Structure 1
Amino acid sequence: MSMIETMEAEGGEAVSLHQRILSDISEKILSGAWAPGHRIPFEHELTTEYNCSRMTVNKALSQLAKAGLIERRRRSGSFVRQPQSQAAVLELHDIRIEVEALGLPYRYERLARLKRRSSADDRALLGLSAPGLVLSLECLHFAGQRPFAHEQRLINLAAVAEAGEEEFLGIAPGPWLIGRVPWSQAEHRIRATAADDHVADALDIETGAPCLVVERRTWSAEHPVTHVRFIYPAESHTLVARFTPSQG
C-alpha cells in the first residue's frame, strides 16, 4: 500500500490513522461540536483528509456505528446518532411530543389517503362485524431531517364520518382523532419485524433492518374507531411500562 497508514504522535508514539479518525470524530460528537443528525463527511472526503485508504475509513466508521455514536444510512451516508426516544406503552402518545422531547424539530407528511369499502383484512384489523367505509392513511413522521416513524392507519368512517372529508395534510390523524372522538378503550400490540422494501425506503434504512412495531386499536363505547401501525427503526426507540402491584 502506497499510502501512509500511521503517523507520529507527540513523544514519537506511532498512532494508526484508524485510531486517529476514531478519536477525531468521537471528540467532535462527545463535545457537542457535531450535534445529533449532523452528517459525517463522506468516506471519500475522509480518505482525502487523512490521506489513507477507503478500507481504513470504513473500518473506523463501522466501529463508531457499533459503539452507537453514529448511524450509517442507505444512500445518505453516516450521521451522528439521535438520542433514543422513549414512549410509554400504556399511553396514547403523540409522536410530536416524542420528537420534541429529543430537542428536535418535528415534521409530518401524509404519503397516501384512500377512502374505500372495507376488505376482510380491514375488518379483522378494526374488529368490524360487517362491511362499511374506511379511510386508509399512510404517513411519515420526521425528527429533524431523519424519518422517525412510518404510520399505517385505518379509520372506521361509521364511527367518525367527518374523517372522510379531512385531507390530513396539515395535521396527523392521531391528534386529530384524539381531539374529536372520546375513546373508552385501547389495545396495544408490540412486536419486532424486518423492514420490507417499502418501509425501508420510507424510513431510509436497509431492507431487512430490525424495526419495532406498535399496533393500536381504539374504541369509543362499543364502536371501533381506528387501527394504527407505527413502525420505528429498532435502534432509535424504547417502550416503557410503569405499573403497580395488583390489588387482587
Structure 2
Amino acid sequence: MSMIGTIDVDVGEPLSLHQRILSDISERILSGAWAPGQRIPFEHELTAEYNCSRMTVNKALSQLAKAGLIERRRRSGSFVRRPQSQAAVLEIHDIRIEVEALGLPYRYERVARHRRRSSAEDRALLELAAAGPVLALECRHFAGKRPFAREQRLINLAAVAEAADEEFHAIAPGPWLIARVPWSAAEHRIRAVAADRHIAAALDIAVGAPCLVVERRTWSAEHPVTHVRFTYAAESHTLVARFTPSQG
C-alpha cells in the first residue's frame, strides 16, 4: 500500500480505472507537472482519455477534492488546489521542510550576494550600535515549479565572520546559520503588503497581489546575528501559534 497525499492506492494488484485516474492525476500534481491554479481536463475529456464512464471520473475527482489536491468549481471545472503551508510563528524553521511537508519538490536559488559596510538602514534592521561589515543576500525558495518564498537577509559579519567566505549557492543561509551559530533570542514581525514589481517578479504573481511578510531578527549572546525578511503569496501560506495560559 502506498500513500499519495491522503489517497490510498493498492500497488500489489493491477490498478482499476478509478485507481489509475487517482494515481495519474495525483502524480502530476505532486510532481509539479500541473501547477497550483491550473485547470485539469474536464470530465468529458478524462472520460475519453481513459475510455470509461463519467461516473468513474466523477468519483475519482470527488476523492481528489476530498484529499485537498484539487478544487472543483461549478461550471468552471476542476483546478489544482494551491497548497496551504503552515509555519509556526514562534519557531525558526527550515523552508525545505515546510515545502516537502506539502508533498512538493524543493529547490533553492541564490539571486544576489553583496558584502558591504553597513548602511544606516542595515544598522536599524540589525540593531547595530556602530557601522561594520554585513553580508546582504537575496534568495528564492521553490515548491515544485513555482516560487514559494522570497528571502532577503542581512548577516552581521562581526558576529559570523565565516559567512564572508560562503557563497550560498548550494545551501540556503537559514540552515547554514542554524548549524553554526547558537541563537539565544529571536523576534518575529508579521505584516501584510501588496506586491510591488520586485515582489511580483520574484514570486511570479501579479503586481498588487496580497502577500504575507515575516521579518525575523536573531541574537546570539546579545550580539545581533541576522535580519531576514520572507515574503510569501498570501494565498499559499498560513502562520500558526500555540499558547498556554500564563501562570502569573
TM normalised by structure 2 equals 0.72
1:115 partner letter: R
* Structure 2 residue aligned with 1:202: 202
Q: CA deviation at 1:208?
A: 0.8
* Structure 1 residue aligned with 2:62: none
Q: CA deviation at 1:79?
A: 6.7
1:182 partner letter: P
2:140 partner letter: L
Give CA-to-partner distance per residue, 1:33-69, whole Å, 9 cap, x none: 7525415469xx99xx9xxxxxxxxxxxxxxxxxx83
Matches within 5 A, 1:29-178: 32=26, 35=29, 37=32, 38-39=34-35, 40=38, 69=71, 80-178=80-178
Equivalenced residues, count: 192
1:212 partner letter: L
1:114 partner letter: H
SS in 1 for 2:29: coil
Q: Which runs of 5+ in 1 are unaligned?
A: 1-26, 50-67, 71-77
SS in 2 for 1:69: strand
Give CA-to-partner distance per residue, 1:220-239, whole Å, 9 cap, x none: 01100000000000000000
* Structure 2 residue aligned with 1:245: 245
* Structure 2 residue aligned with 1:211: 211
Cα distance in structure 1, aligned partners of 2:244 and 2:124:
32
Q: CA deviation at 1:243?
A: 1.2
Q: CA deviation at 1:81?
A: 2.8
Give CA-to-partner distance per residue, 1:191-224, whole Å, 9 cap, x none: 0001110110010000110000000000001100
Cα distance in structure 1, aligned partners of 2:218 and 2:27:
44
Give CA-to-partner distance per residue, 1:156-208, whole Å, 9 cap, x none: 00000000110000000000000000000000000000111011001000011
2:29 partner letter: A
Cα distance in structure 2, aligned partners of 1:118 and 1:198:
22
Q: Which runs of 5+ in 2 are unaligned?
A: 1-20, 46-69, 73-77
Distance change >3 Å, CA 198–CA 162, structure 1 → 2: same
SS in 2 for 1:35: helix
SS in 1 for 2:99: helix
Cα distance in structure 2, aligned partners of 1:174 and 1:79:
33
Cα distance in structure 2, aligned partners of 1:33 and 1:216:
36
Q: CA deviation at 1:121?
A: 0.3
Give CA-to-partner distance per residue, 1:50-95, whole Å, 9 cap, x none: xxxxxxxxxxxxxxxxxx839xxxxxxx972332000000000100
TM normalised by structure 1 equals 0.72
Q: How many percent of aligned residue pairs carry the same amino acid?
A: 76
Q: Is this contact kept in 2: 1:192–1:212, CA < 8 A?
A: yes
Cα distance in structure 2, aligned partners of 1:216 and 1:91:
10
Two-structure CA RMSD over aligned residues (Å): 2.5
Q: Is this contact kept in 1: 2:39–2:80, CA < 8 A?
A: no
Cα distance in structure 1, aligned partners of 2:178 and 2:29:
34
Distance change >3 Å, CA 141–CA 79, structure 1 → 2: farther
Give CA-to-partner distance per residue, 1:125-162, whole Å, 9 cap, x none: 00001000000000000001010000000000000000
Cα distance in structure 2, aligned partners of 1:122 and 1:182:
22
Q: Is this contact kept in 2: 1:34–1:80, CA < 8 A?
A: no
Distance change >3 Å, CA 127–CA 98, structure 1 → 2: same
Distance change >3 Å, CA 169–CA 34, structure 1 → 2: closer
